[in-house]
Amino acid sequence: MSPDIELRSVSLRTEDRTILDDVSVRLSARRTAVVGANGSGKSSFARLLNGLHVPTTGTVRVGGLDPVRDVREVRRRVGFVFADPEAQILMPTPAEDLALSLRGVARAEREARVDAALALCGLTAERDAPASELSGGQKQLLALASVLIGRPELVVADEPTTRLDLRNSRRIGDALLEELDVPLVLVTHDLDLARRCDEAILIDGGRVRAQGAPDAVIADYLQLCG
């Protein structure tokens, strides 16, 4: 799937407020950071990309697909990493949790892909450990592995380092920005992480206020913060 993402005149509203307001933007960079203050609409923007939110008005296209009309195909192709890994860990051990995503795959291939995903995210030693006893960083790595094992063509990560200490934040950042071999949309408050992306957009008050080189967009964000 092409990394091209396009929103045209997209608004997202609830009964009492507007979350996104007339957003038109196209993303085609390999790594795109989405920055902005809490409540600005960043996470809602991310959730539009795999059909977790449905726009009130306007259109969304991800690799030419409509996340509303083509939701099954979009969710097969777009892996979503939540800020809270507990939302993604369903089975007692990491190996079992990863295998759950590969139902219908032959056993030998399933085991090989589980082992490869664990190795990629540095969890080989925790293969059969209780998932509930993993550290916060390990749980986030497992959540990332559960997305990657499905071989998505695009990964959307919604503040994946928010709950982590510095070492685990760096580990997740490296996994996403250096080891991931598919396009990435990264919603983050970590401006150092955002600077490592190819492009950034700034969302404020439900609107895209800036788009371009990360350093320039971050400068606009810092100026906006006063």
Q: Residue 44 class from Cβ within 10 Å (0-12 exposed, 13-18 middle, 19+ buried)?
A: buried
What does the pLDDT read at residue 3? 65
At residue 2, does pLDDT exceed 70? no
Number of compact structural domains in the chain: 1
Question: Three-state DSSP class for 147?
Answer: helix
Q: Say if residues 208 and 25 touch (Cβ distance below 8 Å).
A: yes
What does the pLDDT read at residue 40? 94
Q: Is residue 137 part of a domain?
A: no
pLDDT in tens, 93-135: 999 999 998 988 999 999 999 999 998 888 999 999 999 999 9
Q: Is residue 49 part of a domain?
A: yes
Interatomic CA distance for residues 158 and 168, integer angstroms: 16
Question: Three-state DSSP class for 1?
Answer: coil
Q: Is residue 110 part of a domain?
A: no
CB atoms within 10 A of CB 80: 22
Residue-number span of the structural domain to which 25 is assigned: 5-90+153-225
Q: Is residue 161 part of a domain?
A: yes
Q: Is residue 107 part of a domain?
A: no
Q: Say if residues 55 and 130 touch (Cβ distance below 8 Å).
A: no
Q: Is residue 132 part of a domain?
A: no
What string of DSSP letters covers 123-143?
-GGGTTS-GGGS-HHHHHHHH
pTM reported for the whole predicted model: 0.91
